[in-house]
Structure 1
Amino acid sequence: MRPARALIDLQALRHNYQLAREISGARALAVIKADAYGHGAVRCAQALQGSADGFAVACIEEALELRYATLRNPILLLEGFFEADELKLIDQHDLWCVVHSTWQIEAIERTRLNRPLNVWLKLDTGMHRVGLHPAEYREAYHRLMASGKVAKIVLMSHFSSADEPESPRSAEQLATFAHASAGLQAEISLCNSPGLLRWPQLTPRQRPDDWVRAGLMIYGASPFEGPQEQAARLRPVMTLESKIICVRELAAGEPIGYGARFVTERPTRVGVVAMGYADGYPRHAPSGTPVSIDGRRSRLIGRVSMDMLTVDLSDLPAAGLGSRVELWGREVGAGEVAAAAGTIPYQLFCNLRRVQTLYSAG
């Protein structure tokens, strides 16, 4: 069988989730949208169900996948509902939902429910994606509470630049949130992974009954480009690996791969690896992107193709046919590969497909 595979360390996942709770001192939603960032939503949720305060997904389809797998933890719909009819399913399956627009408030007011909703009321503090305008936030809160359809409201927003430590945007967003929510008695949820990892500088108001939303960090990747104290404590959850399926001996001056973009500068041993962009490895990763071969660092050479890529074996005489190649994981950080390819770890994980996924409970 083709040797390309993703190894998922569920013990590392649990470690990273507990780290989120430890450094925040608050309750934590494990964000498992987009199939748990490519790690497998159901398996990751099952691994966390005994400890997670709740899960967060993008939409009701993702939530129902978890409910049909008999997961009973609270589940928050981060995009809320797209049509009023979805409120019946939200009610039936006891889901929590984000409300970010006045039309959603109107839909809640009109809908007959069997139980009051748990609403996370989203404020646009400056990201300008979704969220209520600060001038209408207080009215929206009181309107929902007066509707008789809501059991509890969590006040929330989302940081746009928390992964940029020098940016003033997070402080500005905090000030906007503080002003718009002043006097409203409710739990608060502000921090995503970068915001959480920068605790306590970013959110000094964090309380034990507040909430953080831990996404990328629970999968063991850092949202920061450079070193960060708390991120250094994360454990990679996914190891993407394959094997060398062919070895070539090339003289100096020989081109490798599509477009002949890489030309050998010396006699070169080339390893061909069963991994390509159809598996989710970034096609635009340049020559020099790090890989690990039998536990020793080397580099990608030549352009990534659909099913294969090529690596440099010149300084690894013991490596050859059948050698294990780690594309990212414990030996090569996903952040390193992402930086080399001009992208982010989120995209690496979410683009993964076709490879066999194997789980280890630890």
Structure 2
Amino acid sequence: MRPLVAEIDLDALRHNYQLACRCAPQSHSVAVIKANAYGHGALECAQALESQAPAFAVASIEEAMLLRHGGITRPIVLLEGIFSIDEMALVDAHGLWICVHSQWQVDALLAATPRHPIPVWLKVDSGMHRLGFSVDEVAGLWQRLSAAPSVASLHLMSHFASADSQDNGYFNQQMALLQGLASQLDAPLCLANSPATLAWPVAHGDWNRPGVMLYGSDPLQTANDITRQLQPVMTLRSEIIALRELEAGEPVGYGGRWRAPRRSRIAVVACGYGDGYDRHARDGTPVLVNGKRCALAGKVSMDMMTVDVTDVPEAVIGSDVVLWGRASNGEMLSVDEVARYCDTISYTLLTGVLPRAPRRYHTRSA
């Protein structure tokens, strides 16, 4: 079989979730597993966390149904709410929680007659300017929803535009607005995403929403003592399938972008953009070969990439290659570092790993 695999370390997932909880011990932490748990497998990750997480968060009914059909019984929050009125029947039947960010969603909720009242997170646009009601609309909506028989618990929710930044000006602006609203309405809050969970205790509310940090990625512009405790959950691993000896000046790959600066040894690795590895990766993008750092040499192809292993003489066909994650010798290559070489963020790399790379789940004690 083709050697490429995405290994998913469920112990690391649980460690990262517990780290999120320790960051905010007075808050409930909903585990965000939208987008197939950021590429890691939503059902498997939910099963690993169900004994610890009081609730899960997804982006759509389809994602929620995958969990329910897989046996997950914990509350599930629809972060974008319903997409059509007829979804209210599924919300009721499966005990889902919903966010409401648009008037038609409020109208659908107020018109509904569910068997059990529905927990609701009312989304405020505090400055992100994507989804949510303006500050001026919130008080009236809060009163209507609080009085509605179809509504159970009610929280204010918002999303920070710059919690990952060292410049806290805009974050402080959003936070002040939300604190004012919460005080006015005596409303419980759900605000903190991963960066706010890690770096902004002032944003810790009744509920927090850790997402990418659960998978071992550091969402902050500058690492801190807490983010250094994150453990990688996905290791994207393959093997060397061929070796080539090149003379100085010889090119490698499409367009000959990389040319050997000396007599070089090039390894061909079974992984490419057809597996989800970013085609924009620059020459020099780090790769671990037998646990030693090497560098991408040449453009990524659909099924293969080429790596300079001149300084790893023990590299042979079948040698272990880690594209990101944890090598067998314990050496780690952060997906965040790889993302920087691709001029992107870890989110796109993790969610971009395609089904052709099978997921294999394990615990280190197993």
| Alignment match, 1:96 | 97
Deviation at 1:28, TM superposition (A): 0.4
- Range 122-131 or range 167-176, more displaced: 167-176
| Alignment match, 2:237 | 241
1:54-93 matches, cutoff 5 A: 54-93=55-94
Is the 2:100–2:106 contact (alpha carbons within 8 Å) kept by the matching residues of 1?
Answer: yes
1:101-180 matches, cutoff 5 A: 101-180=102-181
Deviation at 1:224, TM superposition (A): 2.1
Cα distance in 2 between the residues matched to 1:334 and 1:113: 44
Is the 1:301–1:311 contact (alpha carbons within 8 Å) kept by the matching residues of 2?
Answer: yes
State the TM-score, normalized to the length of structure 2.
Answer: 0.96
Is the 1:14–1:48 contact (alpha carbons within 8 Å) kept by the matching residues of 2?
Answer: yes
* 1:51-89 Cα deviation digits (max 9, x unpaired): 111100001110011001111011000000011111111
Deviation at 1:177, TM superposition (A): 1.1
* 1:104-142 Cα deviation digits (max 9, x unpaired): 111111122111110001100000000010000111111
| Alignment match, 2:252 | 256
- Range 267-276 or range 166-175, more displaced: 166-175
Is the 2:54–2:74 contact (alpha carbons within 8 Å) kept by the matching residues of 1?
Answer: yes
Deviation at 1:167, TM superposition (A): 3.8
Deviation at 1:332, TM superposition (A): 0.8
Deviation at 1:175, TM superposition (A): 1.1
1:1-362 matches, cutoff 5 A: 1-25=1-25, 26-200=27-201, 202-203=202-203, 206=204, 210-330=206-326, 331-353=332-354, 354-362=356-364
* 1:214-244 Cα deviation digits (max 9, x unpaired): 1000001101243222110111100001000
The share of aligned pairs that are identical, in percent, is 49
* 1:332-352 Cα deviation digits (max 9, x unpaired): 100000011100001100000
The answer for unaligned runs of 5 or more in structure 1 is none
The answer for unaligned runs of 5 or more in structure 2 is 327-331
Is the 2:182–2:188 contact (alpha carbons within 8 Å) kept by the matching residues of 1?
Answer: no
Deviation at 1:155, TM superposition (A): 1.1
* 1:265-294 Cα deviation digits (max 9, x unpaired): 110100000000011110000000001000
Cα distance in 2 between the residues matched to 1:187 and 1:225: 29
The DSSP-based 3-state class of the residue aligned with 1:11 is: helix
The DSSP-based 3-state class of the residue aligned with 2:241 is: strand
Which aligned runs of 4 or more in structure 1 are off by greater than 4 angstroms? none
Deviation at 1:199, TM superposition (A): 3.3
State the TM-score, normalized to the length of structure 1.
Answer: 0.97
Cα distance in 2 between the residues matched to 1:79 and 1:334: 27
| Alignment match, 2:329 | none
* 1:147-180 Cα deviation digits (max 9, x unpaired): 2211110111000111112141110101111223
Cα distance in 1 between the residues matched to 2:306 and 2:220: 28
- Range 169-178 or range 118-127, more displaced: 169-178
Is the 1:156–1:190 contact (alpha carbons within 8 Å) kept by the matching residues of 2?
Answer: yes
Cα distance in 2 between the residues matched to 1:140 and 1:308: 54
AA matched with 2:162: S
Is the 2:166–2:221 contact (alpha carbons within 8 Å) kept by the matching residues of 1?
Answer: no
The DSSP-based 3-state class of the residue aligned with 1:85 is: helix
Deviation at 1:14, TM superposition (A): 0.5
Deviation at 1:186, TM superposition (A): 3.2
Is the 1:285–1:340 contact (alpha carbons within 8 Å) kept by the matching residues of 2?
Answer: yes
Is the 2:166–2:222 contact (alpha carbons within 8 Å) kept by the matching residues of 1?
Answer: no
Is the 1:286–1:303 contact (alpha carbons within 8 Å) kept by the matching residues of 2?
Answer: yes
Cα distance in 2 between the residues matched to 1:225 and 1:320: 37
Deviation at 1:184, TM superposition (A): 1.8
Is the 1:245–1:321 contact (alpha carbons within 8 Å) kept by the matching residues of 2?
Answer: yes
